[in-house]
Homo-oligomer: A and B are copies of this chain.
């Protein structure tokens, strides 16, 4: 059985944000066993799973990825929308477009330290829409 819903997230500033609770609250009743796919309908933001307990992980992550794929990369030509545009697209493909999480005993089967991160790569962020598909 497949169920699907669309979720529009609030606007987040450029950075890495823990959104586990926000997303879990939208899921409603889950099947006993299954899988859920969260698909980001944008090319300059990503979802990823990482350490949920210490906010310094998010800060260090952001600083690292901003230095690895810098806004001021001299040879980028895709820059009509600003110097953060092309780096955002590259970050998107490195981190990915969707995440898949198993459902067990009616809950997301995340490890103790796993949380869902929204990675907002743009300076002037917009609402981001994700498609949630649950199959069981």
A residues contacting B by CB (< 8 A) are 2-4, 33-35, 37, 39, 41-43, 48-51, 54, 56-57, 59-61, 63-65, 68-69, 73, 75-78, 86, 89-90, 92-102, 104, 109-111, 113-114, 117, 129, 131, 133, 135-136
A-side interface mostly: mixed
Question: CB distance B95 to A77 under 8 Å?
Answer: no
Q: How far is the CA of A77 from the CA of B57 in the complex (A)?
A: 8
Known A-B contacts A95-B94, A97-B99; A34 and B89 likewise in contact (beta carbons under 8 Å): no
Question: CB distance B111 to A41 under 8 Å?
Answer: yes
Known A-B contacts A94-B95, A98-B100; A60 and B35 likewise in contact (beta carbons under 8 Å): no
